[in-house]
Chain A
């Protein structure tokens, strides 16, 4: 079972470069999420999606964009990388956000902006 797959695992970007973090899930989950994790700060929600074609901002959306053209894929786009975007990024998916549905997480992408 693949679950939630994120690529790449590591990336170094220069300031002003752009990149796309890929996320795909094979559990047919409607809900997908992007979080960033910074030391001592827990996980903060960047964007989420409740189904194909529907996305919404989370707590820290500035500097990021997302799209959800299929149920399986939820890429996160950084257009103009900044040092403040150095972080570990986690993609997650769940069947629902109601009824205590469990969120499944990918292994993370460690991004450094220099």
Chain B
């Protein structure tokens, strides 16, 4: 079965610093990978997704992620953190075959310090 592991339940960065949120996946077949963001008291919204096209994926709000098969990773980055980036971020995986719903990681809470 597929799964994702997010390293670090809480990451704190200074405003303007690099954001790096880590996600490693486990899958027996080629996966589709997603990053979702959840702002306080809201539902989840899609940041970006990897669907086996380009390995470097650009999303909304300046975020991007790179699929690295050799490392089974899909880390999320943003060059310069903004206060509005403070939220919880979830990595998720599904398979490119069959009816397999999204499986989520446990989430990483990002704090941005002024």
Contact = CB atoms under 8 A, between A and B. Distances in A.
Interface of A: 4, 31, 33, 35, 40-45, 48, 50, 58, 90, 92, 97-100, 102-103, 105-108
A43 B43 contact: no
Contact of A97 (B42, B94, B105, B107): B94
Contacts of B52: 100
B42 A43 contact: no
Nearest to A96: B99
Given A90-B44, A99-B51, A107-B42, A42 B105 contact: yes
Contacts of A106: 43
Given A41-B106, A42-B106, A99-B96, A48 B43 contact: no
B44 A105 contact: yes
- Tier of interface size on chain B: 20 to 34
Given A40-B9, A40-B106, A99-B51, A45 B101 contact: yes
B97 interface: yes
A103 B38 CA distance: 13
A88 to B, nearest CB: 9
Interface string B35-66: 01000011111100111100000000000000
Residue among B36, B52, B101, B105 having the largest count of chain A Cβ atoms under 10 Å: B101
B44 A100 contact: no
A43 to B, nearest CB: 4
Nearest to A56: B99
Contacts of B43: 4, 90, 105-108
B100 A97 contact: yes
A42 B102 contact: no
